């Protein structure tokens, strides 16, 4: 894809008319995420030179070891969003509960809430493999002037007003949507600016890549096992290439550019799935649909799932439209597996 000399800041200004409630706050919110991404990118690139590798010794709400860089990224994004008084609440995968943000003069008058996975795939940091940040933005449902409540965060993915991710790889990219297509911006580290490099990103209708942790094969539902066998069969344009990085942002980003499917299903060890609906599945699903792909739990659209808790988990099948629909056809032979 050919980009342009347009910066992310210029692009945001040029496209403000697309925002349903155009008062500048959503633009400032995206700008805050841009700033935080540059700071985290700088720290990621120093991994190995400063004491940022390894576990912090703590665990998060999911009982997972927190990496030092998890906590650093969480603090940076929190600070960028709170200090600019743009949002009324933030929920992070690294925190048990959401936080309330007060605006000027202690008035709870900001319109947006952000849900964020500050550092997706952070266990890969120690081995110099790409990691990322995922974010999701909703317009609050509670009245202005009062503190946010849990229902502001427990909205279906179809209500998102913006979503995106940053991938910290061989180059650092910020990819996002506000419901008018998907655009990617690459950081020029020499001058510290993101430039439009991947305008109007689209998922190929089909692809040659399937991404899944086959180490869990024995624990997969039968429909997933059958689909894997289909991918591996020597027929037509198959077998497909198996590619799995273990960082959702990286796997997703590759598949959007090249065409492919990413699957993280339920397992006997994780009967509700492992990825978080609000911090990972919903924002990725919004991006996928805006890029012409599909995201489901194997049976229903991800963005139609009604959340009931902040750290709810869900299985996900996402990527190129034809590949996801083929995977769903295998899953739907086993309707009992839909009751996760």
CA 297/CA 304 separation, integer angstroms: 10
Known binder of ligand: residue 51?
A: no
Strand order in the sheet with 294-296: 241-242, 209-211, 260-264, 316-319, 294-296
Known binder of ligand: residue 304?
A: no
Known binder of ligand: residue 309?
A: no
3-state secondary structure (DSSP) of residue 293: coil
Known binder of ligand: residue 280?
A: yes
* H/E element, 65: strand 65-67
Phi, psi angle pair for 249, to nearest 5°: -60, -45
CA 291/CA 246 separation, integer angstroms: 22
Known binder of ligand: residue 106?
A: no
Q: What is the DSSP string of 95-114?
A: SSS-EE---GGG-----EEE
Known binder of ligand: residue 183?
A: no
* Neighbour-count burial of 249, counting CB atoms closer than 10 A to its CB (0-12 exposed, 13-18 middle, 19+ buried): buried
Known binder of ligand: residue 213?
A: yes
Could you tell me if 70 and 13 are in contact, meaning their C-beta atoms sit under 8 angstroms apart?
no
Q: Which residue has the tokens 């190929």?
A: 204
Q: What are 209's strand-pairing partners? A: 241, 260
Q: What are 177's strand-pairing partners? A: 163
CA 81/CA 35 separation, integer angstroms: 10
CA 133/CA 74 separation, integer angstroms: 10
Instruction: Give all strands (DSSP E) within 199-293, no chain letters.
Output: 209-211, 241-242, 260-264, 275-276
3-state secondary structure (DSSP) of residue 134: strand
Which residues are documented as binding site?
93, 117, 119-123, 213, 244, 274, 280
Which residues are documented as binding site for Mg(2+)?
93, 117, 119-120, 280
Which residues are documented as binding site for substrate?
120-123, 213, 244, 274
């Amino acid at each position: 894809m050919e980009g342009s000399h347009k910066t992310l800041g210029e692009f945001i200004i040029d496209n403000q008319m697309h925002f349903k409630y155009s008062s500048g706050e959503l633009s400032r919110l995206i700008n805050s995420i841009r700033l935080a991404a540059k700071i985290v990118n700088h720290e990621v690139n120093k991994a190995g030179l400063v004491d940022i590798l390894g576990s912090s010794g703590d665990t998060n709400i999911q009982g997972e070891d927190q990496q030092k860089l998890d906590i650093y990224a969480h603090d940076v994004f929190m600070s960028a969003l709170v200090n600019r008084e743009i949002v009324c609440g933030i929920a992070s995968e690294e925190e048990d509960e959401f936080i309330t943000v007060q605006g000027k003069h202690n008035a709870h008058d900001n319109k947006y809430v952000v849900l964020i996975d500050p550092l997706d795939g952070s266990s890969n940091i120690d081995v110099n493999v790409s990691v990322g940040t995922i974010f999701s933005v909703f317009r609050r449902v509670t009245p202005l002037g009062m503190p946010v409540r849990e229902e502001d965060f427990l909205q279906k993915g179809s209500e998102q007003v913006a979503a995106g991710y940053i991938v910290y790889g061989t180059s650092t990219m910020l990819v996002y949507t506000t419901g008018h297509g998907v655009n990617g911006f690459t950081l020029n580290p020499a001058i510290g600016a993101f430039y439009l490099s991947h305008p109007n990103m689209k998922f190929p209708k089909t692809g040659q890549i399937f991404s899944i942790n086959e180490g869990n094969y024995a624990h997969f539902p039968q429909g997933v096992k059958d689909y894997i066998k289909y991918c591996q069969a020597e027929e037509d344009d198959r077998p497909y290439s198996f590619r799995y990085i273990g960082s959702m942002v990286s796997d997703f980003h590759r598949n959007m550019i090249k065409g492919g499917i990413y699957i993280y299903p339920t397992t006997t060890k994780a009967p509700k799935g492992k990825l978080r609906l609000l911090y990972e599945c919903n924002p990725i699903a919004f991006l996928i649909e805006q890029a012409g792909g599909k995201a489901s739990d194997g049976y229903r659209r991800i963005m139609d799932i009604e959340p009931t808790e902040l750290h709810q988990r869900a299985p996900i099948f996402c990527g190129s439209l034809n590949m996801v629909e083929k995977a769903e056809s295998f899953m739907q032979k086993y309707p009992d597996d839909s009751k996760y």
